[in-house]
């Protein structure tokens, strides 16, 4: 039994759908100007938008690749020879992203006097964190598949 055997078809589908929803929740209010200028300056950084879109496209391509090759990808993930090596990256990267989110929330608790501003910023930052975690889950699985596919 492999350490990554918890990764099954429904887990990967959930990660892909979460990536899409997290990106849309993060990006649509800025693109459609749904927020006031004051809130937009608090929530969104001045740089990084192109990088987010690039990661979304790469994540979407990885997810589509997974949808067309799901059996091969899942078989590669449960190979006992290599799965322990990549389990560190597969579990460590999302954990680091979530810890970064918690650190940012701790800083935000001290910075805001208004609870409504904090809640709005926390909601959008959480959506951004969900996007990054889901992206890492999908992308690392596909990268792992390409690494292992020469041994299959």
The answer to whether the CB of 103 falls within 8 A of the CB of 129 is no
Q: Examine the pLDDT at 15 and tell me if it is beyond 60.
A: yes
* Rounded Cα gap, residues 118 and 23, in angstroms: 20
Instruction: Give the pLDDT of residue 127.
Output: 92
What is the distance between the alpha carbons of residues 12 and 35, in angstroms, rounded to a whole number?
32
**116 pLDDT higher than 60:** yes
Kindly tell me if the per-residue pLDDT of 131 is higher than 60: yes
- pLDDT for position 23: 92
pLDDT tens-place string over residues 20-76 = 999 999 888 877 777 766 666 666 666 677 888 899 999 999 999 999 998 888 888
pLDDT for the residue 63: 94
Rounded Cα distance between 67 and 50, Å, is: 26
């Amino acid at each position: 039994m492999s350490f990554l055997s918890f990764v099954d078809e429904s887990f990967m589908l959930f990660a892909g759908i979460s990536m899409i929803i997290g990106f849309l929740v993060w990006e649509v209010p800025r693109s459609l100007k749904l927020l006031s200028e004051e809130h937009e300056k608090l929530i969104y950084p001045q740089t990084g938008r192109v990088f987010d879109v690039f990661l979304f496209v790469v994540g979407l391509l990885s997810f589509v690749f997974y949808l067309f090759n799901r059996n091969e990808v899942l078989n590669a993930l449960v190979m006992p020879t290599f799965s322990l090596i990549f389990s560190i990256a597969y579990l460590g990267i999302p954990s680091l992203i979530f810890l970064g989110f918690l650190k940012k929330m701790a800083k935000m608790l001290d910075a805001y006097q208004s609870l409504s501003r904090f809640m709005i910023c926390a909601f959008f930052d959480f959506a951004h964190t969900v996007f990054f975690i889901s992206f890492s889950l999908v992308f690392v699985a596909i990268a792992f598949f390409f690494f292992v596919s020469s041994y299959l």
